[in-house]
Structure 1
Amino acid sequence: MEEENLTDHRYIYYELKGNAVPKKMTEKQKSITDWNAYNANVKIRLCKLEREERSSHKICTDIIREAYRNSTIKGPVGIKTVPYWWNASINDKRKECMEARRRYTRIAKLNTREDEKLKANEKYKAKKKELAKLIRLSKKEHWNKLEKYKAKKKELAKLIRLSKKEHWNKLCNDLNGDIWGEGYKIAVKGLKNFVPYDLPDKNKREIARRLFPCSSSGRQDYRTTTGRILAELKFTATELTEALNKMKTGKAPGLDGIPIEAIKETERANS
């Protein structure tokens, strides 16, 4: 008896000559992080560091990366989705078909009469045919819905395109008569109100002195502006929190392999 997959498709078998290694099918993996273990790991590693070592970017990055790896495990998602054409009728008919197939298999293994085997086989084929018919009808129904959706979507895109063209031409004509009219309002509407940061003059002079240091002769020597000057620039905890709040979670980690969730959890646990 040929192998049944309960669809209109049939398996295609082929042989590869040579020492070909078959690929193994793997399930989709999902990372699960124990944040309590992560925070405990970070605190233990930080307690072992000296005061100067805690300000090292490389050491802190290594600690966060190692703590995240040790507290994260990967497991299968375990969520299986049904095809778009699946419905309750197909589900019930599939159960009947599987039951008829199991019954025919049991009868075929026993030393029963040929007429019983033939009757069970015919019943199984009838159920199988009914199931295939339901699947075909369901696929056809969903395909017709998809075609209608595509037609409506095409009509909508055409209307939007015509409306954009009409309003764009009207906007260009209005600009010829009044440059401060509707076109100007649309252009500046997306601009955010910039509030200048009120910095004392003393701090401004200090920043200018660090960015443009002077030589012993009193003249500016731009060659002395190196990474050492940038390394001395510091940021506050408030600025760090504001920067982290702007970062979106659920994104792929960078080159260091540390996701945004781990960095935010570290900041939350130590704030």
Structure 2
Amino acid sequence: MAARLGLVVHNTGNATTFRRPGCEETTPDITLSTERMAGSIKNWKVLEDYTGSDHHYISFMIDTGTSTNQQRKTTGTRKWNIAKLDTSKLISAIDDQNPSSNSPIIAGKTVEHTMLNITRACQKAMPKASHSKHKAAVYWWTENIAQLRRTCLRLRRSYTRSRRRGAATQEADQYKLAKKELKHAIDDSKKKKWEELREDINRNPWGLGYKIVMKKLGARAKPPDLTAAKMDNIVNALFPTHETRARDPEHILRPTQIPRFTLEELQLATAKLKANKSPDRTGSHQKFSK
């Protein structure tokens, strides 16, 4: 099927992607690409991380070309906090690094020297942006779950090694129990956190529950705490009330003052109607059934 469609399979080695204790390991998950992209996919492998499922994650890299890699090596991945930029220091640093008129300049090194000078000027003019490489843990994560996960991964590796040598009934049972215990611990932690969130909402409407919901809706900040008197003042200022203005009797038309339509006007209006159709109140037309 893959060859008929012009696709290339990138699964390599004997690593299986579906592993369930007591069952035969298989590889139902495959990575396909076109023949043109096949040479760009590198480092294909099956990850051993915990997924909460019998299927395992697949990891690979896509090489975008040597020119991009060289550009990344030249420019680097530095980031600075532009909000704290000192313009005077930046200009001064660039002026100090300008070469003299008698200094020889090699055309092939111009870009490299320019980027190096800009980097040094940025280092003097503003601090680097602070960022953390570690992802924040999910709300239900605990140290007990972390320990159970480490145990589950260790038993899974032991079971995988034993399975290659032959039957591994004992290792399979241990891994199955550890996996079940980890799932129960995660479910219990999620339920506990959910109950805590419900209690927090009852105590503080603008607390964690409000932040979770409004973050999804794109809110920037919670509304300020206002008293009833301030709320009344705001409403009265935005929606002021006025005295009812009496109608001018001179501008009120009486039924006797409304002119009646003539026979010619009625015939002219009916002549504009389409055949076999009748206008309704909304202006649409409905065809008569014959």
Superposed pair shares fold, TM > 0.5? no
Bigger Rg over Cα: 2
Q: With a CA cutoff of 8 Å and minimum separation of 6, indicate the structure with the bigger relative contact order.
A: 1
* Structure (1 or 2) with the greater strand fraction: 2
* Structure (1 or 2) with the greater helix fraction: 1
